Amino acid sequence: MTDLGALAGKRILLVISGGIAAYKCLELIRRLKERGAAVRCILTRGGAQFVTPLAVSALSEEKVYQELWSLTDEAEMGHIRLSREADLVVVAPASADLLARMAAGMADDLASTTLLATDKPVMVAPAMNVMMWQHPATQANMATLRSRGVRQIGPNSGDMACGEVGSGRMSEPHEILAAIAGFFAEASGPRPLAGRRALVTSGPTHEPIDPVRYIANRSSGKQGHAIAAALSALGAEVTLVSGPTAEPDPAGCRVVRVETAREMLAACEAALPSDMAVCAAAVADWRVDVAAGQKLKKEGAGPPALHLAENPDILAALARRDAGRPALVVGFAAETESVVEHARAKLARKGCDWIVANDVSAGTGTFGGESNAVHLIRRDGAPESWPRMGKDEVARRLAQEIAAALGGAAAR
């Protein structure tokens, strides 16, 4: 549960763009004010079609800013000041159009100009029709914004005002409120990993058979991405090397996308030196020795024989480096029986310092699910069994354990 007390005294600049979800921002303003935050609002022309400046002004107890070329607005509060006199800029609802203009760096109205001029963190709550949200243009714009550090909350799935069902519904006011409070709690929290570098692997790998087929596995990347985010939240400078996943890039991390195990190893080695390495990726054990240059055809004498070759073990390669070994190397072990014993043996075999072991036997719901029940096994020490908890919480606890273990100087 996020501590909403983190909102007291914080200054939020809320940009309300056009969309039926704009009505929800009135509730958001009220809740922010209740918790002692100061809220100043920019209402776009589209936003003003859905909520009135009077309602926004009455709830925020502030003047509402609407026009870029307004002499009175600029005289009272120029758009530069507006963008700087806030602790956080929240765009809710964030329309497809405003996201596109933000991604393109446009500055043709007060909202886009302010967003371009700001030096403050920005959080967006997308709200639009499901097809608009899923359109590759919107997804590419959102990916661009995330890569620049913009935080994303939602959208949710469900019934939409347009009558369709799917993803694109703006997060509820209480969810946005919690995300804003979480941001401030994180920003003011301890940063014990400041100045340290972290390398995290996540997701599956894809090993090509021919130009259209590949060997893969069911890893979602949820746990690895959550660990990258949690280490970053504690101040680490994180490089996340990820196989193909549908997970959004965690804010604040450098993300290197790869397909194969060999690419993953190369990207990890390029990211060294690092103080810590957490290998959460489900790397394919084997690849097709020589992938076909052309699509394999069905005609011929039966199915092709796939000759497999062993992939490099990235965890073992990092853990067994002579020079530049990260001070703490953490591996994962997915087991279906004798979880702790097998994980101990794996720790010794790979040469890592800790293993996070989880039971992925049928019915546990760990694969692709939101929760995980893990055991933390250190090279020297009794295994710790953690109760089942969300993957985000596993990540936070693991990051705290790592921070507690890493004393001494950073790798630079």
Catalytic residues, by residue number, are: 162
CA atoms within a 13 Å half-sphere pointing along the CA-CB vector of 305: 3
Peptide bond into 93 cis (omega under 30): yes
For the segment 346-365, give every residue that binds ligand C5P (CB under 6 A). Answer: 346
350 vs 124: CA distance, rounded Å = 42
3-state secondary structure of 147: helix
Give the residue with the Cβ less far from ligand C5P, 150 or 276: 276
Q: Which stretch binds ligand C5P (CB under 6 A): 116-124, 249-257, 308-316, 376-384?
A: 308-316
Size of the site for ligand C5P (CB under 6 A): 14
183 binds ligand C5P (CB under 6 A): no
Whether residue 203 contacts residue 162, with contact meaning beta carbons closer than 8 Å, is answered with no
313, 353, 359, 392: residue in contact with ligand C5P (rule CB under 6 A): 313
Give the residue with the Cβ less far from ligand C5P, 79 or 350: 350
233, 333, 357, 395: residue in contact with ligand C5P (rule CB under 6 A): 333
283 binds ligand C5P (CB under 6 A): yes
398 binds ligand C5P (CB under 6 A): no
3-state secondary structure of 255: strand
83 binds ligand C5P (CB under 6 A): no
93, 252, 331, 351: residue in contact with ligand C5P (rule CB under 6 A): 331
Residue 412, both tokens: 């630079």
203 vs 263: CA distance, rounded Å = 13
Nearest residue to 70 via CA among 97, 93, 45, 40: 45
For the segment 243-282, give every residue that binds ligand C5P (CB under 6 A). Answer: 261, 279-281
60, 83, 201, 239: residue in contact with ligand C5P (rule CB under 6 A): 201
Residue 323, both tokens: 């020079």
Give the residue with the Cβ less far from ligand C5P, 164 or 310: 310
Least CB distance to ligand C5P at residue 228 (A)? 13
With residue 335 as reference, give the H or E element that holds it: strand 328-335
402 binds ligand C5P (CB under 6 A): no
Cα dihedral 346, 350, 351, 355, rounded to 10, equals -50
Compute CA distances 357 → 128, 205, 218, 315, 376, whole Å.
40, 20, 17, 14, 6
Give the residue with the Cβ less far from ligand C5P, 201 or 366: 201
Give the residue with the Cβ less far from ligand C5P, 92 or 261: 261
Least CB distance to ligand C5P at residue 400 (A)? 19
Residue 232, both tokens: 């970053």
Least CB distance to ligand C5P at residue 342 (A)? 9
145 vs 156: CA distance, rounded Å = 19
Give the residue with the Cβ less far from ligand C5P, 114 or 311: 311
Phi, psi (degrees; rounded to nearest 5) at 392: -65, -40
Least CB distance to ligand C5P at residue 206 (A)? 14
Q: Which residues, 6+ apart, have CB-to-CB distance to 78 below 8 Å?
A: none
Q: Which residues, 6+ apart, have CB-to-CB distance to 128 below 8 Å?
A: 19, 95, 96, 138, 155, 168
Q: Which stretch binds ligand C5P (CB under 6 A): 90-98, 142-150, 330-338, 395-403?
A: 330-338
332, 372, 375, 394: residue in contact with ligand C5P (rule CB under 6 A): 332
With residue 91 as reference, give the H or E element that holds it: strand 88-94
| Interaction site with ligand C5P (CB under 6 A) | 201, 261, 279-281, 283, 311, 313-315, 331-333, 346
